[in-house]
Amino acid sequence: MDKHKGNLFILSAPSGAGKSTLYKALLSQDKNVRISISHTTREARKGEEHGREYYFTDVEDFLDMIADDAFFEHAQVFDNYYGTSKTSVFSMLEQGLDVILEIDWQGARQVRQLYPEALGIFILPPSLNALEERLRGRGTDSDDVIQRRMSKAVNEMSHYDEYDFAIVNDDFDTALSQLQSIFTAMRSKTTVMREKHGNLINDLLSL
């Protein structure tokens, strides 16, 4: 795969761990970061908008996109399909923007295969009780759905060590500052410096 100017980040967590709240806070403070908007076949929740949280798509269109090789990665999560389309991600990276993929562990595995320089970050809740409270507090899911999400959460969390970094989202501000530090560190990698500051590096080495 071609080299791009921006960095690619994978952000995964069990539902309710706080990843959306964290990345929204990061986005509001960091003008160089964008979130990739996924396609999904799940129903929009109250307050969600097509093209903002997700592109809400029917199963037939989603399967057509798979057949057209339009996805960078895709997976079935709960009973729905989710996928990241190739075009917008690569155009943002090409513009030098850092891109966050908010995807599950199955999608993360596919991205690592295709794009090994992607950096994986896993968000953990401080406890299972806290996770359940946050899911209930969000008020978007029925009891039934919450129980299913809780059992899926344990499965999702069992993959945390496939990621480069893990953050426990207990105190929100602490977790946010850890996330920001990871982004800052990634931008100082020598490979990124060479790509972005080639002229400076040539000058510095010119004696």
Ligand X SMILES: Nc1ncnc2c1ncn2[C@@H]1O[C@H](COP(=O)(O)OP(=O)(O)O)[C@@H](O)[C@H]1O
**Rounded Cα gap, residues 136 and 139, in angstroms:** 5
Looking at the Cβ atoms of 158 and 205, the one nearer to ligand GDP is 158
Least spacing, CB of residue 200 vs ligand GDP, in Å: 36
Output 169-172 pairs: Cβ under 8 A, ≥24 positions apart.
169/13, 169/17, 169/18, 169/19, 169/22, 169/123, 169/124, 169/125, 169/126, 170/126, 170/130, 172/18, 172/21, 172/22, 172/25
Q: Which of 34, 169, 183, 186 touches ligand X by CB under 6 A?
A: 169
- Extract the tokens encoding 111: 């991205």
Selected range binding ligand GDP among 82-90, 92-100, 124-132, 157-165, rule: CB under 6 A:
82-90
Q: Does position 19 bind ligand X by CB under 6 A?
A: yes
**Cα 2 to the center of its chain, rounded Å:** 21
169 forms part of the interface with ligand GDP (CB under 6 A): no
Q: 167 forms bridges with which residues in the sheet?
A: 123
Considering only residues 8, 10, 11, 13, which one is a binding residue for ligand X as defined by CB under 6 A? 13
Stretch binding ligand GDP (CB under 6 A), from 69-77, 120-128, 177-185, 197-205:
69-77
172 binds, among ligand X, ligand GDP, none (CB under 5 to 8 A by kind): ligand X
Q: Is 17 annotated as a binding residue?
A: yes
Which residue positions form the known binding site for ATP?
A: 13-20
